């Protein structure tokens, strides 16, 4: 059996569509019959990362690779990059504008939540070039 690959584009600054990709992937994982908690953890991590791309990164690409043992999601953007990854990993630290915080986003829980909901997270970032986040959720951790 071959792995299943899904590819999506995230549109920047469109909050009406924020969460669309994670919603689609969540439905696919449910249709496939992944355990409810695996689906939920993937959905939470993906939603956070997708919102990050909408707010900070001018959108980007999300690639999902599915096999029975592990779900791998790669979020790749060509945004501004993260200046201090240590700070960004701290709960509550945020560079989001007042406007975005007023909409209920940008609470500084993005990266910490993604890490908490996944079994593996890797962040590659370069200022002015972009950020690639890879997460894995194992079916039987």
Partner 1 sequence: MNDKLHSVKLDKELCKGCTTCVKRCPMEAIRVRDKHAIIINERCIDCGECIRVCPHHAKKAVVDTLDVLKNFEYTIALPAPSLYGQFKGILSDRNVILTALKHIGFSTVFEVSAGAEAISTLTNREIRKSKENLPIISTACPTVVRIIRMRFPSLIPHLLDFRSPMEFTARWAKRLAQEETGLPLEKIGCIFISPCPAKATAVKLASNADHSAVDAVIAISEIYPKLRTAIKRVIVPEDLAVSGSPGMGWAVSGGECKAAAISDNLSADGMENVINILEALENEELPSVDFIELNACVGGCVGGVLTVENPFIARGRIKHLMKATAPVLRPDQCPIDDVNWDHSVEFDPSLRIDSNLSDAISLLAKIRDIESRLNGMDCGACGAPSCHALAEDIAKGFATEDQCIFIVREKLQGLLGQHENPDGTAEPAVAKEAESEEQA
CB of 20 to partner 1, least distance (A): 11
Q: Is 66 in the site for partner 1 (CB under 8 A)?
A: yes
Q: Is 124 in the site for partner 1 (CB under 8 A)?
A: no
Q: Are 79 and 58 in contact (CB under 8 A)?
A: yes
Q: Is 34 in the site for partner 1 (CB under 8 A)?
A: yes
The DSSP annotation for 40-87 comes to HHHHHHHHHHHHHHHHHSS-EEEEEEE-SSEEEEEEEE-S---S-HHH
Q: Is 43 in the site for partner 1 (CB under 8 A)?
A: yes
CA angle 130, 6, 128 (to 5 degrees): 5
Q: Is 26 in the site for partner 1 (CB under 8 A)?
A: yes
**Given 9, 16, 33, 99, the residue binding partner 1 (CB under 8 A):** 33
Residue found under tokens 């200046």: 83
Q: Closer to partner 1 by CB, 47 or 75: give it.
A: 47
Q: Is 40 in the site for partner 1 (CB under 8 A)?
A: yes
């Amino acid at each position: 059996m071959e792995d299943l690959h899904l590819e999506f584009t995230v549109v920047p600054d469109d909050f009406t569509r924020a969460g669309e990709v994670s919603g689609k992937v969540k439905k696919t994982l449910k249709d496939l019959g992944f355990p409810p908690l695996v689906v939920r953890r993937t959905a939470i991590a993906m939603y956070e990362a997708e919102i990050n791309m909408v707010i900070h990164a001018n959108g980007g690409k999300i690639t999902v690779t599915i096999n029975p043992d592990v779900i791998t999601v790669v979020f790749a953007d060509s945004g501004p990059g993260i200046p201090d990854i240590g700070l960004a990993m701290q709960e509550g630290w945020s560079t989001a504008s007042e406007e975005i915080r007023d909409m209920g986003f940008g609470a500084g829980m993005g990266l910490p939540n993604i890490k908490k909901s996944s079994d593996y997270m890797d962040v590659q970032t370069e200022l002015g070039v972009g950020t690639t986040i890879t997460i894995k959720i194992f079916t039987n951790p």
